[in-house]
Amino acid sequence: MMRNPSRDAKTLRDTDLIRRLAPGLVLYARQWSRNAEDVVQDAFLKLFRQQVQPDNVSAWLYRVVRHDAMNSARSDSRRDRHERLASEFRQTWFEPAPGQSLDIEIVTDALQSQPLELRETIVARLWGGLSFDEIALITGASPSTASRRYRAGLEALREQLRVLPEEKDK
Amino acid sequence: MNELPDDLRAFEASLSQISPKSSLDTDRLIFESGYAAAIADRKARQTARATVTIVGSALAGVAATLMAVFALRTQDPPMPPSAAVANDTQRQDASPSTDVNSESPRVAERRAWPASSPRSPLIANEFVEASADSFGTLRWRQRLIQSAGDGDVALDILPDSFPSRPAASEPRAALPTNLQWQRELLRDDSSREWVNS
């Protein structure tokens, strides 16, 4: 069977894209939905079904994930509101790693306690690597607003992470 | 975009060290993405082929329409029946003598002969000699000689010897045959006084 070099190169690009962007996208989707993996998978498949690739693939994926995660959260809340409240996001959002200075459970709790617009800005910037312009494009806010939210979110997280361990000790 | 202070930048760096947890099956996603890309590629090729077909059909239709419009424009405009009949009559008058009822100049000359023939008077002799094998012509020649007396003088027939033929009331459809000429010449007619004189 003949191999198509351009298709092979595209497959490599796609593989790299998935490995690079998938974790941040899953964390981003978790801000709204419990089915974050499904949402991200659908977003990638939507991307690869596109006949014309978007100019900014990262921003396009984050935008699609945001939209789909919001829809998924709406259908979740309609389906089993009580069940959802009982098992509200008790899973950690981060991978444990040796030598890590921050407790991933505490970070998860601290992040979950933040307002949604701060959370999504921090995740998109810190773990998604998006610029403030791209975040502004996705969220519909201005770049300066995105920058302000990011800074406010980081300060709030830092504040919370200083406090939370002490509360835990008590 | 305001820059972050150093302490906040250090906190940002420590946060970025932890990696998000994901139970996404990346291998399966890579496989499915390849499949989806192949399907999209095939669909794009089919769409391009269909587009070419549609555009080709549309161009052919436009070309056929343009040709039909051009043909209609180059035709004579429609005219009422009376004008069409008049036009047709004019065309018939102006057309060359291909009509059955019309005659060529050569035929007209022969029909008018000998009254207006510019040819030599000996044309009658030529005619007689040319048709010498005809029994009727020989007989006529013999009568001509007998009635004229001696020698070949009788053969020197001048054009004035022949009465002018009246113009045909209507055009003839064809040339007279030799047989018709002979009958005409040998007809026992009282107007042929010159034969006996």
DSSP states along A141-157: S-HHHHHHHHHHHHHHH
Chain B: which residues have CB within 8 Å of chain A? 1-2, 4, 8, 11-12, 14-26, 29-30, 32-34, 36-41, 43-44, 47
Q: Which of A55-64, A99-108, A127-136 comes out lowest in average pLDDT?
A: A99-108
Q: Which of A24-33, A49-58, A69-78, B126-135 comes out lowest in average pLDDT?
A: B126-135
Q: Which residue of B14, B32, B33 is in closest CB contact with A102?
A: B14
pLDDT of amino acid B25: 83
pLDDT-derived band at A14 (thresholds 50, 70, 90) equals confident
Evaluate whether A31 touches A66 at the Cβ level (below 8 Å).
no
Structure tokens at A54: 């978007």
Contact A48 B14 (CB under 8 A): no
- The pTM score is 0.53
Up-side HSE of residue A168: CA atoms within 13 Å toward CB? Answer: 12
DSSP letters, B122-135, are THHHHHHHHTTT-H
Percentage of chain A modeled with pLDDT above 90: 50
Q: Please tell me the distance from the alpha carbon of residue A150 to that of residue A122, in angstroms, as a whole number.
A: 5
Percentage of chain B modeled with pLDDT above 70: 44
Which distant-in-sequence residues (6+ apart) come within 8 Å of B180 by Cβ? none
B80-107: average pLDDT = 62
Q: Which residue has the higher pLDDT, B40 or A54?
A: A54
A92-111: average pLDDT = 84
> How many C-beta atoms lie closer than 10 Å to residue B98's C-beta?
7
Contact B22 A27 (CB under 8 A): yes
The yes-or-no verdict on residue A157 having pLDDT over 50 is yes
The yes-or-no verdict on residue A170 having pLDDT over 50 is no
Which residue type, as a one-letter code, is found at position A111? L
pLDDT of amino acid A115: 93
Block residue for tokens 């760096």: B13
Name the nearest CA neighbour of B147 among B196, B193, B194. Answer: B196
Question: Counting one residue from A and one from B, how many pairs have CB atoms under 8 Å apart?
Answer: 116
